[in-house]
Structure 1
């Protein structure tokens, strides 16, 4: 094994935990506010959660064929490179490395710290300190090897499901007028298409993050078989949890109340668990966000590492270094953590994430289209998994992605164009360095 080659020691369970752990974060606790606020009606809100899950599963079924056919470290970067050409993978990796991954880490660290402050009654000035502390702690843990990071991911994923299932079970038992609260389907004062569209966008953001498991493909023992199982199995579990827990919310509180509070899960917990309910849910949110943050720190560094191995980034020799003892991309991990700390201190991570959502979904759609391109251009490539109901499922995934892109472009034009500009900055850097691309030894 080369000194800059990652060891293949991840199985199906850690991969499944990465998918579930990175998707189920704070959204399951807070997103009902936006969903039911958009629909105004409980029935349409549940339909939005179901449709969001079905679109995500269609996307997962589609992307799984590409990831199984190209099981290399780097995820979408490698898919786009082998399908459309090097520059497309480069631009995605550039945007992810510079802003998307570290800014997301910063946001998760700050959200985690905010919940710690609320739970323990600590001075709010400690929020940045606690957030940075969480990033540093998980960075150190993941530098001890992908097995360590995968173990943390597995444990946190199991733990985060406990409060969710508690709300579901007790909510159904103690909730009153639950069935009645699932109706009406729509509200007369809200246009059906507009209401469903806004709610669907909110749910799609809650389902996001699953594709990052592809970054770890090069470290999986059997990526051709385990990667599709992790993506599809993980998304199926997530959809079930999201739909059922939102029904449980409605068994306890009507949609208009859920829409009017910024902490819907806590409000429900206070009713069904008593005065300690808020604390229980806060702990659940802490575990959930902690696991999601760990997932980004575990998978994120594989993006700059994969680029650096081919000498595509400044200081590639340094960024492609593998720790000889723990077999982790040590310097790429450190780089993203430093950027995350900088974004945490600046307080500008929120807008940075918003402006890149538009761009990330463009690359998602390109990944879905890659199924058609690869089947035409590389019909003989080994495919241990093929998307079922081809071409219907890939078309559904593409249509869902295009909807997100168009909606974001219309509702957030400024952030969309800023995202395009930041991504296109990578073009001159790519042109300047492309003659230096090679395998870094």
Structure 2
């Protein structure tokens, strides 16, 4: 409030406006919001490091203010209560690291990049947190600290004089803004994914027809955030959230002990055991320090189970692959054989049998990505159409995403080709080739000389007709390969969209290096 000069009774206005502004950013497009978030976070780190540097250069920071370290200062809380309170605040500062897991489906080579992101992110936050905390305490002695909220203003005034309070308020606002942007981007994706899996209300599983964002989920997240804002002070809000968050983090880590394939890494099981013990200690301290809001927050979270049972019947029995329109009674909860974890669709099958994966990838590279008189987009549309006719969700969605990426993001055209290519905005030649592809999908003998003549009339060459037939035949094989093993076929459209961009740019053989041994992917 000191930054904007507003009276105390309007203190909810600025946070509400920030939340609404962030909602608009996420509503109109994730690409724009990512750029703004990246800029804000880089600026935040730069500003915090500049504060630390100025505290030392200006001579305001002195190590004597930290000494003696072990003496309890007048007015301080008892040791245990002080540690518990500090843990909640510190945990919030580090808390954003797990949000990265919610966008793992859009990350290239997640097996390599996600651990790097987690590790480097936590180390960076730890370094900045320690530097900033040390600088604050070296500038403002503990005995002169009036309160937690006044502490920031005191630090600012010590460094910048009478305007220091406003300078530091602006720095705090920038820091909070970066964290809020990450949360407001990640949280709606959870609602969206739950709705797509049938575990949440269907309207929140829809993308905006123009912006391609989970717009309804963004609106829900913003409404809930505005509601939580009315709960009161920041510390009070944290006390409702942190205990439940730690519980869920611990539950997530326990899944490592229940994996279908045992974890064989140098850090297992030591790392998860240490993590679980740490979660237990943190939650024990929270309960002993301020149990009421922690338990209230937990009860609110647990209310989700009766809501799930009331509105979403048998969510555990949802099949992991797209429903089969030919045999809707068939629902498979896992692949028919033990395929590698975390590799949906054909990737899991190929990783299971690398020796056959290489020639299959070589074939699809030649058919869809290598130079050809048919554009990559046209060939991907043929593959998408055939996969759609075969009701193979994974193949039609991933190749539709590659086609859209080759068409500057025109997902509407891809959908129209799948449902009614005769009226789609594509060339007459491609329409004639799709007729041939559709007949190959039903059976090779359905293709007639008239079909071939019509394609030639519209300018198709013999090599284009040949490749169309081979694409259609090959994708009948690929579709049956994917569905015949009952591979997992997630319905996260954002994951397919990002992977489609990657394949369109780098090709199938290069992308296969992510999940195949070097000798099979080269």
Give me the TM-score of the superposition, normalised by structure 2.
0.55
Farther-moved stretch of structure 1 (119-128 vs 230-239): 119-128
Structure 2 unmatched runs, 5+: 324-490, 492-522
Given that residues 186 and 192 in structure 1 are in contact (C-alpha distance below 8 angstroms), is that contact kept between their aligned partners in structure 2? no
Q: Distance in 2 between matches of 1:191 and 1:131?
A: 33
Residue 188 of structure 2 is aligned with which of 301, 311, 320? Answer: 301
Following superposition of structure 1 onto structure 2, how do residues 261-272 of structure 1 map, counting pairs within 5 Å? 262-272=149-159
Alignment partner, residue 412 of structure 2: none
Q: Per the alignment, in what secondary structure is the counterpart of residue 95 of structure 2? A: coil
Q: Per the alignment, in what secondary structure is the counterpart of residue 187 of structure 1? A: coil
Q: Are residues 128 and 218 of structure 1, via their aligned partners in 2, closer, same or farther at CA, if it must alter by over 3 Å?
A: same
Alignment partner, residue 36 of structure 2: 152
Alignment partner, residue 49 of structure 1: none
Q: Distance in 1 between matches of 2:42 and 2:234?
A: 29
State the Cα RMSD in Å: 2.9
Q: Per the alignment, in what secondary structure is the counterpart of residue 207 of structure 1? A: helix
Q: Are residues 177 and 142 of structure 1, via their aligned partners in 2, closer, same or farther at CA, if it must alter by over 3 Å?
A: closer
Shift of 1:242: 1.0
Q: Are residues 346 and 200 of structure 1, via their aligned partners in 2, closer, same or farther at CA, if it must alter by over 3 Å?
A: closer
Shift of 1:434: 2.8
Alignment partner, residue 435 of structure 1: 314
Describe the superposition over 1:152-186 as per-residue Cα deviations: whole angstroms up to 9, x where unpaired.
11111011123311221111223457222232221
Residue 217 of structure 1 is aligned with which of 78, 81, 104? Answer: 104
Describe the superposition over 1:379-421 as per-residue Cα deviations: whole angstroms up to 9, x where unpaired.
37xx9xx5x6433332222121111111122223322332332
Residue 93 of structure 2 is aligned with which of 191, 200, 206? Answer: 206
- Is residue 2:197 matched to residue 1:310? yes
Q: Which has the higher contact order (CA 8 A, sep 6+)?
A: 1
Residue 379 of structure 1 is aligned with which of 249, 262, 266? Answer: 262
Alignment partner, residue 329 of structure 1: 214
Describe the superposition over 1:119-170 as per-residue Cα deviations: whole angstroms up to 9, x where unpaired.
1213445444433322222111112222212111111101112331122111
Q: Per the alignment, in what secondary structure is the counterpart of residue 208 of structure 1? A: helix
Alignment partner, residue 139 of structure 1: 23
Following superposition of structure 1 onto structure 2, how do residues 279-298 of structure 1 map, counting pairs within 5 Å? 279-298=166-185
Following superposition of structure 1 onto structure 2, how do residues 25-104 of structure 1 map, counting pairs within 5 Å? none
- Aligned residue pairs total 316
Q: Per the alignment, in what secondary structure is the counterpart of residue 122 of structure 1? A: coil
Shift of 1:233: 0.8
Alignment partner, residue 284 of structure 2: 406
Q: Distance in 2 between matches of 1:196 and 1:341?
A: 30
Given that residues 61 and 135 in structure 2 are in contact (C-alpha distance below 8 angstroms), is that contact kept between their aligned partners in structure 1? no
Q: Per the alignment, in what secondary structure is the counterpart of residue 274 of structure 1? A: helix
Structure 1 unmatched runs, 5+: 1-116
Q: Are residues 293 and 232 of structure 1, via their aligned partners in 2, closer, same or farther at CA, if it must alter by over 3 Å?
A: same
Q: Distance in 2 between matches of 1:343 and 1:224?
A: 35
Q: Distance in 1 between matches of 2:235 and 2:62?
A: 36
Q: Distance in 2 between matches of 1:411 and 1:399?
A: 18
Farther-moved stretch of structure 1 (122-131 vs 279-288): 122-131
Given that residues 228 and 237 in structure 2 are in contact (C-alpha distance below 8 angstroms), is that contact kept between their aligned partners in structure 1? no
Q: Distance in 2 between matches of 1:291 and 1:217?
A: 20
Q: Per the alignment, in what secondary structure is the counterpart of residue 363 of structure 1? A: helix
State which structure, 1 or 2, has the greater radius of gyration over its C-alpha atoms: 2
Given that residues 175 and 251 in structure 1 are in contact (C-alpha distance below 8 angstroms), is that contact kept between their aligned partners in structure 2? no
Q: Distance in 1 between matches of 2:64 and 2:234?
A: 41
Give me the TM-score of the superposition, normalised by structure 1.
0.64
Describe the superposition over 1:350-402 as per-residue Cα deviations: whole angstroms up to 9, x where unpaired.
7565234222211111222323333xx3237xx9xx5x643333222212111
